[in-house]
A and B are shown apart, each in its own frame.
Chain A
Amino acid sequence: MVENRPVLRFIHHLTLIAGVVAVAFPLYVTFIASTHSLESILSVPMPLLPGDQLWANYSQVLTAGSTRGAQAPVGAMMWNSLVMALAIALGKIAISLISAFAIIYFRFPLRNFFFWMIFVTLMLPVEVRIIPTFKVVSDLGMLDSYVGLTLPLIASATATFLFRQFFMTIPDELVEAARIDGAGPLRFFWDVVVPLSKTSMAALFVIQFIYGWNQYLWPLLITTDEKMYTVVIGIKRMIVGGDALTEWNLVMATAMLALIPPALVVILMQKWFVKGLVETEK
């Protein structure tokens, strides 16, 4: 410590507390709103202490959805979100791991070409090619399916780079030793590369799980069947424009359900999360 200044430290704590409060306030209001009836939320100003409708609201959305907007149970949507998040996270890790392995541990004619192809995907986020990608998926008959939800998002330049960087740090002696033992590339991959990559995979998993769970534009486009909605889409569908009024208590209960799983992943796997963020740099 440079010097001991209680005043300065007090200011630091004050700043942090203000930050934590500001960050937590929306969450607090959301939680409060999810424990009240619609009527008491609509009486301005809304109460700032928990109400007694917590069970009623959550069981309503989990089993039946909203009454005025989409009437799909949020429980099923959470399952869809989980499938999507897991498929994207694991899929990205799997295909990036093997393609990085091929690019680092083999020399083959089209190696650089493939590497650049993967790299260029960085420049084509789904947001800029929405309509044609939607068309491709629709032509392939993948609308309203898990495959359509996940497959187009599984390619990952960042994950491939991450593994490529990591493989560069694996000592060459290990390869030589493996070759002396007569182990082929696949043996080497399973026995050496995969175990050594576990930390990177865990870190990547956290980041990509959140990425998958939080997808919005893509499922918004390709799911029209309520059975295929993810939670994030479900919330949007509950905010109705038509002939009814948004049931904010149920929307807020669903918002809580939508943000708890990824928030838990971040908090419980904080170490991997920070590592994943810093290493993927995006």
Chain B
Amino acid sequence: MEKRVVFRSSWLPYLLVAPQIAITVVFFFWPAFQAVFYSFFLQDAFGTQSQFVGLANFAELFRSESYLNSIRVTAVFSTLVTVMGLAVALALAVAADGILRGALAYKTLLIWPYAVASAVAGVLFAFLFAPSVGIISYVLRGMGVDWNWVLRGEQAMLLVVIATVWKQISYNFLFFLAGLQAIPRSLIEAAAIDGAGPVRRFWTIVFPLLSPTTFFLLVVNIVHAFFDTFGVIDATTQGGPAGATQILVYKVYYDGVKAADLGGSSAQSVVLMAIVIALTVVQFRYIERRVQY
């Protein structure tokens, strides 16, 4: 993809990219390089003593139960967020696609949670589900549920998943709706003439045709669950109880900031970078393909 006609200047293009490149180098590459560097060292909190330990930080990481637990938790969390978020949004998008009047009003009423910060969403749900004063906790207790996410890991997980899904629905909904509206009506009408009911039409025609959108959203949601959910966790469970909601990103922060373990935290950063690179490659290959269509 090249322009045939271009301008010529020996200095102007450098000047134009300079701000972006400067910020990239100072705030992205240099810190990333330092993360790699520190991951080979063991330091005290104040950095007065430092010693090279080779790969010991990494070895320790993959021996550490809490890190392995964190990997498990992240896998469960991102799977739940992705599956629930996509399922609910798809149902809503199909419904919005199937009505004649009022679609815009519904759309407006469904998309605003996108504007809510993760941390604020976390606070809202922490309040709704607060063990003693929360209104939903009150209803749950009335139904005989022993609701106390401060102690019960699976309840804490449910809480952060619901808060994240709530925020993510609007995004998925918009993409599914756009995907649905791009499906040619003629295909669906043809199936209807063949006598296929709405449910069968959905599974045999609509859903397969929607698969590019679904795949795209799958990747985006996984990335989101991995990296953009720090606020939800920090505002609600802070990784607890017993590490039940300690996702990888939260652990990097906790070990680095609260426990002042620079080496261990840097090693975790390096692992996370590897994960992002893998996810980005998947995502980018897919985007490039879409672009070429």
A residues whose Cβ falls under 8 Å from a Cβ of B:
1-3, 5, 8-9, 11-13, 15-16, 19-20, 22-24, 26-27, 29-30, 33, 41-42, 44-46, 48, 94-96, 98-99, 101-108, 110-111, 114, 117-118, 120-125, 127-133, 135-137, 151-152, 154-155, 160, 165, 167-168, 172, 175-176, 179, 184-186, 188, 210, 213-217, 220-221, 232, 235-236, 239, 248, 251-252, 255, 258-259, 262-263, 265-267, 270, 273-274, 277-278, 281-282
Q: Name the one of B24, B120, B125, B166 contacting A117, with C-beta atoms under 8 angstroms.
A: B24
B109 and A263 contact, CB distance less than 8 A: no
Closest to B111 in A: A266
Q: Is the CB of B276 within 8 A of A19?
A: no
Interface residues of B in 165-186 (CB under 8 A from A): 166, 169-171, 174-175, 178, 185
Flag if A26 contacts B125 (CB, 8 Å). Answer: yes
Q: In the complex the two chains form, is B166's CB within 8 Å of A127's CB? A: no
Main secondary structure of the interface of B (DSSP, over half): helix
Q: How far is the CA of A106 from the CA of B273 in the complex (A)?
A: 32
Known A121-B28, A259-B117, A282-B220; contact A99-B291, beta-carbon cutoff 8 A: no
If A117-B24, A168-B1, A235-B119 touch, does A19 touch B127 (CB 8 Å cutoff)?
A: no
- Set of chain A residues within 8 Å of B235, measured between Cβ atoms: 235-236, 239
B54 CB-CB contact with A under 8 Å = no
Contact with B110, one of A12, A20, A27, A235 (Cβ below 8 angstroms): A20
CB distance from A101 to the nearest CB of B (A): 6
Binding site of A, secondary structure by majority: helix, strand, loop or mixed? Answer: helix
Category for how many chain B residues contact A: 35 or more
> Contact string, B105-127, partner A, CB cutoff 8 A, digits 1/0?
01111111111111111011101
Q: Is B21 close to A, CB under 8 A?
A: yes
Which B residues form the contact surface with A (CB < 8 A)? 1, 3-10, 12-14, 16-17, 19-21, 23-32, 34-35, 38, 88, 91-92, 94-96, 98-100, 102, 106-121, 123-125, 127-128, 132-133, 135, 138, 166, 169-171, 174-175, 178, 185, 188-189, 192, 198, 216, 220, 223, 227-228, 230-231, 234-235, 249, 252-253, 256-257, 262, 265-266, 269, 272-273, 276-277, 280, 284, 287, 291
